[in-house]
Amino acid sequence: MNKPSWRIMAAGLILTILISNMSSFISDGIKLEELRGSVLRLHILANSDSAEDQRLKLMVRDELLGSGMFSSAADLSEAERIAEEKLPEIVQTAEKVLRRNGCCDNVTAELADVDFDERVYGDITMPAGRYRALRIKIGTANGHNWWCVMYPPLCLPAACEMTEIAEDKDSEEKTVTDDKEAEEECFDEKELDILKKPKKYKLKFALWDKIKSVFD
């Protein structure tokens, strides 16, 4: 085989590999966007990082998750609608918890698009990015925060165990109760691969977000 033919074949092989990888890159990026758009996160921000403010944050969390107000949604749109309708009730419930414990901080609640860092929840890792979230702010909201996935209801099964958990800075990990049934019902095979094997996608998703930011 002469050199020109060899070079043409090599170039063709390289081009084929690049096209194949590009197809996979785009496919995974689209799936990432679908995943980000398919969940509603619950985000509670404490007034400060003092031990008391962190304790109050967890008490508010326990009261809200134990109330059952988030458990009836059949899909994402209904979860958002319920959250929107119950914003005054959410604020009232949280403030009652604070007042019972001698705290005068105000509470605000909103549905918002929030930028999250990569966060681990049990055996799943939610990729970094912008998500729809029910965000609850206590006081100045300058303290360590707590989060979970409100829809699909991955954090709700843990609510019944929360009152038995020590209220320390590691308690967020301790509140996790794996709900395999909810995971498998609400996420497809590719999404579960993304959630359970974050290292496999980390660089690819970082590049995807970098490229996407150029066009946003």
With a cut of 60, say whether residue 171 has pLDDT above it.
no
Going 180 to 183 to 184 to 188, the CA torsion angle's sign is negative
Q: Using alpha carbons, select from 172, 166, 178, 97 the residue that is nearest to residue 138.
A: 97
With a cut of 80, say whether residue 166 has pLDDT above it.
no
Which is more confident, 16 or 104? Answer: 104
Q: Using alpha carbons, select from 106, 107, 111 the residue that is nearest to residue 83.
A: 111
Strands 107-116 and 129-138 come out as antiparallel
**CB-based burial, 64-75: b 16+ in 10 Å, e otherwise:** bbeeeebeebee
What percent of the chain is modeled with pLDDT above 90?
50
Q: Using alpha carbons, select from 20, 14, 21 the residue that is nearest to residue 203.
A: 21
Tokens encoding 172: 């967020």
* Predicted TM-score (pTM) of this structure: 0.78
Return the pLDDT at 196: 94
What span, in angstroms and rounded, lies between the C-alpha atoms of 125 and 68? Answer: 25
Tokens encoding 208: 């995807």
CB 49 within 8 A of CB 143: yes
Mean pLDDT for all residues in the chain: 82
Tokens encoding 160: 């019944």
With a cut of 60, say whether residue 158 has pLDDT above it.
no
CB 152 within 8 A of CB 182: yes
Mean pLDDT is lowest, of 15-24, 42-51, 170-179, for 170-179
Tokens encoding 216: 């946003």
Residue ranges per domain, the chain?
Answer: 39-205
